[in-house]
Amino acid sequence: MNSSPGGLDRRRFLRNSGIAALAIFGGGALAACTSAVNQSRGGGDDNAQPVRGGTLKYGVLADLVPANILTNTGTTPYVVGLVFETLVRYPHDKLEPQPLLAEKWTLAPDGQSITLDLRKDVKFHSGRAFTSKDVEFSLRTYADPKWSAQLKSTAAAITGYDATDPNRIKLTFAQPLGNIFDLLDTAPILDSESIDQLATGDKIVGTGPFKFVQRIPNQQLVFEKNADYRVPERPYLDRVEFSIISDNQAQLNALKSGQIHFADGVTYRDNENLAKSDGFRVISYEGAELQVYVGANVQNPALADPKLRRAIAYAIDRDRVIAEVFRGSGYATNLPWPKSSPAFDDARNTRFKRDLTKAKQALAGAPTPPKLPLAYTAGYATHEATAQIVQANLAEIGIETELVPTENATFVKQLIGAQFPGLWITDHSWAQFVPSTLTVSAYPFNARKNASHYESPDYVTAADNAWKLSQATGPDAQRAYQALSDQLLDGLFLIEIGVRLAQGSTTRTLHNVGWTKRRELNLTETFLS
């Protein structure tokens, strides 16, 4: 699977990225707007014919945190995928943007501006027409630090907006932005008239296939079909109901008993069994890889010593985590990049293979560290199981840890606010996008402000050099990504464990579930039989 432009020459990459004008939707609107997700559907292994109507019941581990609506945390991607849309959409297997709310675009030869032509048939759920002013408002809002959006630094690098034509907008940049299409694929188009109620969760208004109806905190989220959606006769479903079921076993029981059609929290081991049964199927979110890692607060006196962090990197049994916790649905890594990334480097990626001798050598002569807290998200079985393996691994070299299960909303707050006192285990995303996005955007990796309190002028320089590339591939890009990888391996403020594919579990009555590279739900074509 090739989910990056790493194998493309410059001409082909630019052509496919839309520097040449892309095809306008026109009469083939339905085919065009769904082409980017045709390959992203689950449950398409039968010949079921679409059925209109019905309520999809979805079990999710965590409630929506409305203030985090512009992040990629918890349940947010599912909600965003139903309610909102973006300007472009990446397919799963490559970084070649396809039209969505933007019909076509032209990137300036110097890479410092882009002009986008917008669809004319789009309305917000309130009935108001979508225009270029909404693009400007959405990107400016996305850049506002109060929303904690992960790509806010890229949005903030947009220095000029020309929205005089309601159907066209020109964006001017402070510098070439090698990841501009990552931003346009990620930033949802927001409704300026209800923005004050978005952060509270009272109103969530977009242009997507479903309208937000109701939220009962820690219990339920309800969405109804957008009858005025721009795609004719879509969506098929009348209603989607999220039930917050914060226990993995409870989700499995609800799925088996028919209380829900779809679950986001069934363990990999239980999914192995479900996949063998006639009444269920398991979806692997290909193209939307996650990476599980150990984070370290380098302001903790013990973790400030890079020798201790190297010892941890050598001690972790990555292969065991992938085999036992994720049942082989992934592979061990030392760096964040999936194999499809132009930054993937096999030699660098195996620097810290499990080696207890090297781990103990790294600690030789150093005082025994105090017991370190090791936080993980409570209710997430994979995080708990990973934490238990890491705890046992570290005990083998004399590092004691105390497991700290942490409620999801609190865990996210600590991650965004850099508040973990010691070690933590969770997943990160964004490595499946243009590599620079990870190191200028993601909370754990941001070179200027990250969850580890790690500071390094060399790391900032490497991150900026990769970000300011005029193209995401080629010899210059390769050198920039290698320098970035070396900084990550030297700093070890994050210790990668491995790449994994997230999974969803469904009954066989549910068909054509779609998702984006951020695992946002795309239920435009989904139906129940």
pLDDT in tens, 97-138: 999 999 999 999 888 999 999 999 999 999 999 999 999 999
Output the pLDDT for position 46.
Answer: 64
Looking at residue 3, its amino acid is S
369: left (phi over 0), alpha (psi -120 to 50) or beta: beta
Question: What is the reported pLDDT for 12?
Answer: 33
Pairing mode, strands 55-60 and 239-244: parallel
Return the bridge partners of 296, or none.
Answer: 423
Task: Return phi, psi of residue 528, to 5°.
Answer: -110, 140
CA dist 425 and 115 (Å) reads 41
- Which two tokens mark 337? 């990049």
The pLDDT value recorded for residue 43 is 53
Q: For residue 99, what are the β-bridge partners? A: 88
Q: Which helix (H) or strand (E) holds 223?
A: strand 220-225
User: Which is it for the CA torsion 236, 239, 245, 246, positive or negative?
Assistant: positive
The H or E element that residue 11 is part of is: helix 10-17
Q: Measure Cα distances from 287 to 65, 90, 434, 436, 514 in Å.
A: 25, 10, 13, 18, 12
Q: How far apart are CA 91 and CA 355, in angstroms?
A: 39
Is residue 233 exposed (0-12), middle (13-18) or buried (19+ Cβ within 10 Å)?
Answer: exposed
Tell me what pLDDT residue 328 has. Answer: 94
| Structure token digits, residue 466 | 């990769």
Do residues 429 and 185 make contact, with C-beta atoms less than 8 angstroms apart?
no
Which H/E stretch holds residue 216? strand 210-216
425 and 374 in contact (C-beta within 8 Å)? yes
Low-confidence ranges of the chain (pLDDT < 70): 1-46
